[in-house]
Structure 1
Amino acid sequence: MRLRGGDSCSELAQIKEFSEWILKVGDGDAGDWNDGKVELELPNDILIHHTGDPIASIVDAIYPSLENQPSNPEYLLERTILAPTQEIVDLVNDYILSRINGTEKIYFSSDEVSKDESNIGVRDLYSTKFLNSIKCSTLPNHELKLKVGAIVMLIQNIDQSRGLYNGT
């Protein structure tokens, strides 16, 4: 586990307690069994309470004062939002982008199938509209929206010598 050390004894004790709890969750030893499922009570300090839009609540909790921090790399490096589906990722990305000041620029993927001989028939099999609608974690979306100061993560290696690789 990657946990940074605390400044005080109480912080170290809290980190140790959280570490033990998260290991129990991972090992399946936390919570009470109920008909083959585990009922797990989450500590109140890790819950995000919301009254309206859950996406806004999560983003506001993880990226407080986002409008004032877009060029601060430490602020961005210390935070992340994990999402269970690509649809949720797109909702979070759209919401964060709407919070960043500036003009949005939209980039589109190529919508032509290669005219290589090995692709004969493929051009007729899949419509451009269908190809542009495909959304999965290993393929970039057809439409990429960006603003200056937007948070971007690369999903492919581009130039490792310049630090542009998958996950940065």
Structure 2
Amino acid sequence: MLEPGIVAPDFELPDAAMDPVSLSDYRGQKIVVLYFYHRDNDPGCTREAIEFSDLADGYAKADAVVLGVSLDDPFCHEDFRDRHGLLVRLLSDTDTAVSRQYHTLREMERDGVVKLALIRSTFVVDYAGTLRHALYNVSPRGHAADVLQLVQQLHAEAREADVAASR
């Protein structure tokens, strides 16, 4: 598992429109909320994505971007986003490389078949690219609001540091 305080592993993944997204794109500009979820249209994952979308204004005011990652392909993400009116950017990790970097994969057996599944997890990365929070095995209900509080605190700390530096 990743621990807070390290530089968050960089990556590049396609979003629902097939546009590449890198974590480093946001370095120095935004706080990044990176959440990993099982699959599009799963009831818990849908709830989580909708809650993050419902709080989009709060995240924007805290200078944060929310990125959702699953193993689904971009076309599945596009349908999921459009069906539920989602405002979060959904990224496709079809080769599991990023999920492995963030230690969010586990083997799961169903009907005698072993498959890889994502552990519902959320990471908060500060402006400098440092991992500030690593939350594994989260519950979808209310999670987006809890993460927003963490992001607002980081944003306030960064503003205080800017004020102190300008004195």
Fold agreement, TM-score > 0.5: no
**Short-chain TM bin:** under 0.3
The higher radius of gyration belongs to 1
Normalising by structure 1, report the TM-score: 0.22
Relative contact order, CA 8 A, sep 6+: which one is greater? 2
**Which of the pair is proportionally richer in strand?**
2
Higher helix share: 1
Normalising by structure 2, what TM-score? Answer: 0.22
